[in-house]
Amino acid sequence: MPLITMKQIMADSLKKALDPSVDTKERYAVGAFNFSTIPEMVGIVEGAREVKSPVILMLSLGALKYIGSLELVAYTARGIARQYPEVPFCLHLDHATDLEMIKQAVVAGFTNVMIDASQEPYEDNVRKSKEIADFAHKHSPLGLNGCSVEAELGMLAGHEDNIHVSEEDAGKAYTDPELVADFVEKTGIDALAVAIGTAHGFYKAAPKIRFDLLEEIRRKTDTALVLHGGTGVPEDDFRKCVAMGMSKINVGTGLKKVYTDAVREAIKSLPESEYDPRKIVGPGRKAIAAEIASKSELFNCAGKAEAVLKSMY
């Protein structure tokens, strides 16, 4: 079953992140990519297949509003899983805040959900994240495969659907390493999104990642760590994050641009008499696949599909 939980898809990466005897060059993070249409979903999985990589498909609340149905996305993911059995992938709901809606996603068959109560007081963040972790671990219709949970501690600058954080506020709200172990233990989550200097959307200037914080956080917990705001982070910073034990890297904005640029180019190059949407959307899907293949190489997760599948059994 290639549609697996985020906990399963990151197990091998996490093992390598936590083992100090592992060469840092062996470490890798699984890429997580946003989509809002079916061709994008397929393009992401095709790109992962090209380089034998595991991959995470991410649905934002904005994309959900556009598509209109959690079930439609979950059924499509199951269909893709049958079509591409060699690609281990995870279907993830990103930055959700409404507890009832997150539970609906679990029941619909999402294999990871993110509860983002990071803007709320610490105790509320703990309570809500625990409620979702308890529910998701028990109520997934996928049985053993189940559904895992990501939560966030600290705040990322930028704009993510219904969440807006100014750079000034985010600067005050890096993830506090002293809270990490307590948060993970009290909530029972499977992955932690950390605020260490990245932001959502395009950067005006290259972000300053707090590697000192990452090092401290990695020491305080055995849970998988997630980097949000991957668009525009310098390649060497990605490599350093991976070497220091990051297990998942989110890329949204950059991928939208790759898709739209390819579609725009296709429209420009076609005669006006051409009306077949496949000739317009098709190049977008191909461009996404190429971008996923390239990002998988950068995150060092290309070639790791087999290791991920093996780690599950």
Binding region for Zn ion (CB under 5 A) out of 42-50, 208-216, 226-234, 292-300: 226-234
Kindly name the residue from 19, 23, 94, 161 that is annotated as catalytic: 94
Q: Nearest approach, Cβ of 60 to Zn ion (angstroms)? A: 8
Binders of Zn ion in range 47-86 (CB under 5 A)? none
Cβ atoms within 10 Å of 240's Cβ, excluding its own:
15
Binding region for Zn ion (CB under 5 A) out of 58-66, 137-145, 227-235, 254-262: 227-235
Asked if 92 is part of the footprint of Zn ion (rule: CB under 5 A), the reply reads no
Binding region for Zn ion (CB under 5 A) out of 27-35, 169-177, 205-213, 228-236: 228-236
- Site for Zn ion (CB under 5 A): how many residues? 1
Q: Which is nearer to Zn ion, 62 or 79 (CB)?
A: 62
Question: Which phi and psi angles does 216 have, rounded to 5°?
Answer: -65, -45
Q: Nearest approach, Cβ of 158 to Zn ion (angstroms)? A: 8
What do you get for the CA distance between the two ends of the chain, in Å? 11
DSSP one-letter code for 199: B
Q: Which is nearer to Zn ion, 2 or 158 (CB)?
A: 158
Q: Which is nearer to Zn ion, 17 or 199 (CB)?
A: 199
Q: Which is nearer to Zn ion, 32 or 301 (CB)?
A: 32
| Residue whose C-alpha is closest to residue 184's, from 4, 7, 5 | 7
Query: Which residue is closest to Zn ion by CB?
Result: 228
**Is there a catalytic annotation at residue 94?**
yes
Determine whether 188 is exposed, middle or buried from the number of CB atoms within 10 Å of its CB (0-12, 13-18, 19+). Answer: middle
Binding region for Zn ion (CB under 5 A) out of 32-40, 225-233, 254-262, 303-311: 225-233
Q: Which is nearer to Zn ion, 92 or 228 (CB)?
A: 228
* Amino acid at position 175, single letter: T
Q: Tell which phi-psi region holds residue 261, choosing left (phi > 0), alpha (psi between -120 and 50) or beta.
A: alpha
Distance from C-alpha of 233 to C-alpha of 19, rounded to nearest angstrom: 26
Q: Tell which phi-psi region holds residue 163, choosing left (phi > 0), alpha (psi between -120 and 50) or beta.
A: beta
Q: Nearest approach, Cβ of 23 to Zn ion (angstroms)? A: 30
Q: Angle 253-269/38-50 helices, nearest 10 degrees?
A: 100
Asked if 228 is part of the footprint of Zn ion (rule: CB under 5 A), the reply reads yes
Q: Nearest approach, Cβ of 84 to Zn ion (angstroms)? A: 25
Q: Which residue has the tokens 């079509």?
A: 83
Catalytically annotated residues: 94
Residues at the contact surface with Zn ion, assessed by CB under 5 A: 228
